[in-house]
Amino acid sequence: MSVAVVNGVTVTAFVEDGAAFNKCMEERFSTLDVNGDGVLSRAELLRGFGPLPVRGADAETGEEIGNPDDEVFEKFDADRSGTVDLEEFKAEMKEIMLAVARGIGDSPIQIALESDSFLMRAVEHESTKRV
């Protein structure tokens, strides 16, 4: 784990560098595709997210909230094929990364990052562009 300074511009620049972003996504996809069949099963995809919090009822409405595992998988499985291909993976990760960039905003924040995290890859990408 490392501490890095990141802002939305850093993350957006990484996503917009198609070659760097695609290489990163292809590497992660390959790592997650344990059986090497070229698609991610529900278990393979969710393994990359770690344990998701179990949710019960919405505090305001009392309505039951769906299983977060199902919600995550459904977001990635755009064509509803029951698996996630590389293009679906890249498209959803792009949306997630851009949402993170918007959430961070323009002000730099100091954050602890796993060495193989997407945000760390964005920080590393930025550092190679400054050289």
Give tens-digit pLDDT for 99-118. 999 999 999 999 999 988 89
Q: What's the average model confidence in pLDDT over 59-81?
A: 78
Buried b (16+ CB within 10 A) or exposed e, 13-46: bbbebeebbeebbeebbeebbeeeeebbbbebbb
Predicted TM-score (pTM) of this structure: 0.82
pLDDT at 102: 96
Domain 2-130 CATH superfamily: EF-hand (1.10.238.10)
Would the pLDDT of 70 be above 70?
A: yes
Would the pLDDT of 62 be above 90?
A: no
Q: Could you give the count of Cα atoms lying within 13 Å of 106 in the half-sphere of its Cβ?
A: 0
pLDDT at 55: 54
Pairing of strands 2-6, 39-40: unpaired
pLDDT at 116: 86
pLDDT at 48: 82
Whether 52 and 58 have beta carbons less than 8 Å apart is answered as no
Give tens-digit pLDDT for 12-47. 999 999 999 999 999 999 999 999 999 999 999 998
Average pLDDT, the chain: 88
